[in-house]
């Protein structure tokens, strides 16, 4: 059965090649293990593989260019060499360093996912303009080491929207084609639980910027805290118990217009989004016949 939904969307599978990411740090630090996992993510339905060699979890310490390249390049090269699906799957490099982005693009990446929205390295925008690669610009308050230290906004949605609009304008004026840019509100990056929920509730206001909106709620701490509160537990629940919350937030985000979903559990989220899209679209295709409800 083929389902046709109300909107098109893509799943971005997370591939952390780090020892300290909050969810799966160390699990795929070995390049061969990472490449195997990349194949698993694609088999589950990932259309983008987001490969990162530097953790951006709260409190994370910076990584040198050399260490980041040492972690990601063997994985990028191995993934890019997968001729059976490399023409249908985009490779994304999760980095804020121009040198890493340049090397990753040379190795086969076609998206740069920059959590600093081109503020971390002045040379990054030139790399994007010259290469013609796609990019994702994300909102983050401060930097990973400090972003969760009492984040404050007058109106989080208005401020995130203004920031993303300004960074989009900056990129375009520097030679990046607007149609190459995706925007990410940065759920969990310098936001409280209330800020995250407000952003999810009003995502349609960010969609109005006219660029594909990326949402990354997968397994994040605010989900763990909400689930713990419902269960009467004092500490955020373990990562393994955050899948239902991840699915719920992605379903809400799709309904509000998001179109790219950055997740660890691709198969589970894919199924939930398929049902959501079919429901919103009120149509589906079964054995070549379109039916409406």
Q: Which residue has the tokens 């109106």?
A: 155
Separation of alpha carbons 288 and 17, rounded Å: 42
Residue 89 CB-density burial (10 A; 0-12 exposed, 13-18 middle, 19+ buried): buried
CB-based contact 2:285 (threshold 8 Å): yes
Question: Which two tokens mark 62?
Answer: 């910076």
Give φ, ψ of 41 to 5 degrees.
Answer: -65, -40
Residues paired with 51 in a beta bridge: 15, 93
Residue 248 exposure: Cα atoms within 13 Å on the Cβ side: 14
Catalytic annotation, pick one of 57, 97, 102, 220:
220
CB-based contact 284:292 (threshold 8 Å): no
Separation of alpha carbons 80 and 68, rounded Å: 18
Closest CA to 64 of 28, 97, 91, 89: 97
Q: Is 220 a catalytic residue?
A: yes
Closest CA to 197 of 249, 121, 125: 249
Q: In what order do the strands lie in the sheet with 134-138?
A: 181-184, 134-138, 111-114, 90-94, 48-52, 10-16, 260-263, 214-215
Distances (CA, A) of 20 to 17, 216, 224: 9, 18, 18
User: Which amino acids are annotated catalytic?
Assistant: 220, 262
């Amino acid at each position: 059965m083929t389902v046709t939904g109300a909107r098109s969307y893509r799943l971005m599978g997370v591939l952390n090649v780090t020892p300290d990411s909050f969810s799966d740090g160390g699990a795929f630090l070995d390049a061969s293990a990472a490449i195997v996992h990349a194949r698993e993510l694609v088999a589950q339905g990932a259309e983008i593989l987001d490969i990162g060699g530097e953790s951006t979890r709260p409190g994370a310490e910076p990584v040198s260019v050399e260490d980041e390249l040492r972690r990601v390049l063997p994985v990028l090269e191995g993934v890019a060499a997968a001729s059976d699906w490399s023409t249908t799957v985009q490779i994304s490099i999760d980095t804020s360093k121009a040198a890493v982005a340049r090397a990753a693009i040379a190795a086969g990446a076609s998206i740069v996912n920059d959590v600093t929205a081109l503020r971390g390295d002045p040379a990054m925008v030139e790399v994007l303009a010259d290469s013609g690669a796609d990019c994702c610009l994300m909102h983050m308050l401060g930097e990973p080491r400090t972003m969760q230290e009492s984040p404050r906004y007058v109106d989080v949605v208005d401020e995130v929207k203004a920031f993303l609009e300004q960074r989009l304008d900056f990129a375009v004026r520097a030679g990046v084609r607007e149609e190459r840019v995706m925007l990410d509100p940065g759920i969990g990056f310098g936001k409280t639980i209330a800020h995250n929920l407000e952003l999810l509730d009003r995502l349609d206001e960010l969609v109005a910027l006219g660029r594909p909106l990326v949402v990354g709620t997968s397994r994040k701490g605010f989900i763990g805290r909400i689930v713990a509160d419902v269960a009467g537990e004092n500490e955020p629940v373990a990562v393994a118990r955050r899948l239902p919350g991840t699915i719920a937030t992605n379903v809400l985000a799709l309904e509000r217009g998001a179109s790219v979903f950055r997740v660890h559990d691709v198969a589970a989220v894919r199924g939930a989004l398929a049902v959501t899209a079919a429901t919103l679209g009120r149509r589906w295709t079964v054995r070549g016949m379109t039916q409406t409800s």
